[in-house]
Amino acid sequence: MGRWVEFEANDFLGRLSAETLGLLTPYLIDVSLHRGAQVAEPGEELVCVWFPTSSVLSVVTTMESGHDVEACTIGRESGWGLLNALGSSTSTDRVVAQIAGHAIKMSAARLRAAAALSVNLTDLIIRHAQANTAQVQQTAACNALHSVDERLCRWLLMTQDRVGGDQIQLTQEFLGLMLGVQRTTVSRVASGLQDAGLVRYSRGQIQILDRRGLEDHTCECYESVRQKYDELLSVHPKQKG
């Protein structure tokens, strides 16, 4: 594997009982993802399920024009490909690593086989899938109704939650892709946040200086998504036995 796999670094794996985790452990592989690494493409057979630990994955929708817009961000709080492991093995998403780092992957077929032996594992898969779907729905509404300034603040807060630090390595080009806007728009909005003392931006790296200020500038969607995750997952304690 190259290094010790830290199961607790991913919330999905960390919630499993020792018995259930034992069904998965022989098949969990730690991998390193560089920024922009492609995890899946639409129409491809889903071979692996991914559990980010320090990396962050972006699920994007690609239009006929070739433009990509982010639909969902997945980090250490969840996993990607979970529902596919129970249903169709064909991916409907384009998934890339928006933040470089580590992730744990395993065979989708192995996860399906383990879920067939554990009702608790199946329940947790469904709950995480519901939480991620809730984020997709809220993001669609946010992209349609809220300003780029509010959306960028939401995105920075969500990403900080997933990387666990104040430093986020991102280029303006990638931010534009995530938000579905031109690089010039990203530059204008980021400069405004910097002038307000909320962030510092230089050479593809954003440092969050005032999280409370970002929370005040963002829309309702950040808190709404966070609450939905809490409702679906925080009330689902680590399995026992």
> What φ, ψ does residue 60 adopt, rounded to 5°?
-120, 155
Q: Can you name the residues that pair with 187 across neighbouring β-strands?
A: none
- Rounded CA separation 141/132 (Å): 15
Its pTM stands at 0.88
Measuring CA to CA, how many Å separate 39 from each of 46, 50, 89? 10, 9, 14
- Rounded CA separation 89/46 (Å): 5
Q: What is the DSSP string of the chain?
A: --S---GGGSHHHHTS-HHHHHHHGGG-EEEEE-TT-EEE-TTSB--EEEEESS-EEEEEEE-TTS-EEEEEEE-TT--BSHHHHHS--B--SEEEEEE-EEEEEEEHHHHHHHHTT-HHHHHHHHHHHHHHHHHHHHHHHHHHHS-HHHHHHHHHHHHHHHH-SSEEE--HHHHHHHHTS-HHHHHHHHHHHHHTTSEEEETTEEEES-HHHHHHHS-THHHHHHHHHIIIIITSPPP--
- At residue 238, the pLDDT reads 55
Superfamily of domain 7-143: Jelly Rolls (2.60.120.10)
Is the CATH number of domain 147-218 1.20.210.10?
Answer: no
- At residue 5, the pLDDT reads 59
Q: What is the mean pLDDT of each run of 10 residues along the chain (241 residues)?
A: 64 91 93 93 91 93 75 93 87 90 94 93 93 92 91 92 86 78 86 93 87 94 92 64 45
- At residue 241, the pLDDT reads 45
- Parse the chain into domains and list their residue ranges: 7-143, 147-218
